[in-house]
Amino acid sequence: MAVTGSGPLVLFVHGYPQFWWAWRHQLPAVAAQGYRAAAVDLRGFGASDKPPAGYDLATACDDLAAIVRSLGADDAALVGLGLGGWVVWSMPTHQPGVTRAIAPFGVPHPAVFHRAMWRHPLQWRANQYLRAMQAPFASERQPLTVSRRLNAWSGSDTSWITDEVTERYTEAMSVPFAGQAAAEYHRWFYRCRLTPSGVRYLHKLQGRIDVPVLQLHGAEDHTSLPVLAAESSRFVEGPLARASVAGAGHFVPEEAPEEVTDALSAWLTAAHPA
């Protein structure tokens, strides 16, 4: 975990195949704006604990709620990318008491994505990586696929994928059991409609979101179709700000750091005043 600044809490949640360092561009800017900015490693990733179970989105919501309280805050604005975005989308219905506002990047509402991954032919094709994670020994292969994922999921300009970026994320996924955790999250989400815990999770997701929402999506995202982003609005009753980031793929905070930071800073001023 990385924590900087003071004031109202803004909690950042990384995606796959990342860890807290994915938010290195946004953390100092948000802290300078008068917030306490904290970036966490999800259970199983990076330096976090790696227990044998708990790699589902409902438990991830419980983990984030515990982190907010452990940092001495009553609530927080939650910012998430990819896998972290699914968790952030889930927080208003699963942990409303600690959720002041949410900013999911790179993914639509999980209910929209879950339906599309079975019924939308283009999204079905984009979800090849999800199906690959269902196979035996998928977790052992995670460190070997980091560079390929970064390049395949980026927009057309891959200059942000420096040697340092590739090395840091490959090293993080090489930590013992981190690959297994990454695979287990995606396995659970892919199969959740077939499990009791997953059915409960999907049912709870149907609740309406009444907190402010900032939704950013890369216009060249190859993992989650940009056209799905607009469908998330049917779950949002509170203020919704939505924007497409031109030229960016899935990793919008790193591909377009200045644009994302500016949008996030402006949104926080209204949604979670310092």
Least Cα distance to 154 among 220, 103, 95, 97 occurs for 220
Considering the chain, what percentage of its residues have pLDDT values greater than 90? Answer: 78
Q: Is 71 exposed, middle or buried (0-12, 13-18, 19+ CB in 10 A)?
A: middle
What pLDDT, in 10s, does the model give residues 188-242?
999 998 888 899 999 999 999 999 999 999 999 989 988 898 999 999 999 999 9
Helix/strand/coil for 77? strand
- Report CA Rg, the chain: 17
The answer to whether the CB of 254 falls within 8 A of the CB of 25 is yes
Sign of CA dihedral 214, 220, 223, 224: positive
The stretch 135-161 carries a mean pLDDT of 87
* pTM for this predicted structure: 0.95
Q: Which domain holds residue 165?
A: 2-271
d(CA 90, CA 86): 6
156: domain CATH number? 3.40.50.1820
Q: Give the count of domains, the chain.
A: 1
Query: Which residues are registered as beta bridge partners of 103?
Result: 79
- Would you give the end-to-end CA distance of the chain in angstroms? 22
